[in-house]
Amino acid sequence: MRTLIRGLGELFITGGLVLLLFVVYSLWGTDRYTREQQDRLGEQLAKAWQAPPVTTEKVKLGSGLAMIRIPRLGSKYRYVIVEGVQPSDLRKGPGHYPGTAMPGEVGNFVVSGHRTTYSAPFNRIGELRRGDRILIDTRRRQFVYQVTGRQIVEPDDVEVIAPVPNHPRRRPTERLITLTTCHPKYSAAQRLIVYGRLVETRARVTAPTSPQAGG
């Protein structure tokens, strides 16, 4: 009887330690996976952009689509946006909702990302203020969006990703961007939504990664 109780106690303590280790893994260990995937996708994207464009430029689920940069969150802030919002897509980086507008198109370009874990690309988007710029690089163009507002909604409020946010029936006339992530941090109880509007389209500067002998 004594040994049984002692064995059980040891088992529970071990289980607790394993759970603690899992929390540590979730918060910090998962970053490594996203960084690897981002490096890979970034290289793929740079290569694809150098190759001549294909006539039917359809992005495959899980592959890179554009680069996002947000100057407010630091000059190093850049992520490859992947196509798709399945959990396996979002582990690689911010994901574009399939079926919503592409960057620069009339309608709503919607991107979702992790707020915590997996490099937490959207960890600090709550700090964005009206007028902050969100830069989206595509093959030829850079789209400059400006933050217009934000909102905290319930997880099933799909109207926020409508072509005209919160007006699902209205026909879009503007070129918008919407970022979604979870809220509050470390929870999935609500969603934090950041809205923006296209203010400028310019030629993409093909500087940062191109000319060296890359591999």
**Residue 26 contacts another protein per CB under 8 A:** yes
At 53, list the tokens: 């464009």
Nearer to another protein, 49 or 147 (CB): 147
Nearer to another protein, 158 or 199 (CB): 158
Q: How many CB atoms lie within 10 A of CB 27?
A: 13
Nearest residue to 44 via CA among 70, 78, 69, 80: 80
Q: Quick check: 142 binds another protein (CB under 8 A)?
A: no
**Dihedral, 111, 114, 120, 121 alpha carbons, nearest 10:** 0
Does position 82 bind another protein by CB under 8 A? no
Query: In the complex with another protein, which residue's Cβ is closer, 128 or 161?
Result: 161
C-alpha–C-alpha distance, residues 119 and 12, integer Å: 31
Strands 190-203 and 64-69: unpaired
CA 58, chain centre distance (Å): 19
User: Residue 147 phi/psi, 5° resolution?
Assistant: -65, 130
* 180: contact with another protein by CB under 8 A: yes
User: What is the total count of residues that contact another protein (CB under 8 A)?
Assistant: 44
Q: Is the CB of 33 or the CB of 77 nearer to another protein? A: 33
Q: C-beta of 136: minimal distance to another protein in Å?
A: 18
Residue with tokens 């507002």: 149
Residue pair 143/111 in contact by the 8 Å Cβ criterion: no
In the list 30, 151, 206, 209, the residue contacting another protein (rule: CB under 8 A) is 30
114 a catalytic residue: yes
Distance of alpha carbon 63 from the chain centroid: 13
State which of residues 108, 112, 119, 142 lies at the interface with another protein (CB under 8 A): 112
Contact between 108 and 178 under an 8 Å Cβ cutoff? The reply is yes
Interaction between residue 108 and another protein (CB under 8 A): no
Q: Which of 102, 153, 201, 206 binds another protein (CB under 8 A)?
A: 153
Active site residues: 114, 182, 191
The contact set with another protein (CB under 8 A) reads 7, 10-11, 14, 18, 21-22, 25-26, 29-30, 33, 61-62, 85-88, 90-91, 97, 112-118, 122, 153, 155-158, 160-161, 180-182, 186-188, 191, 193
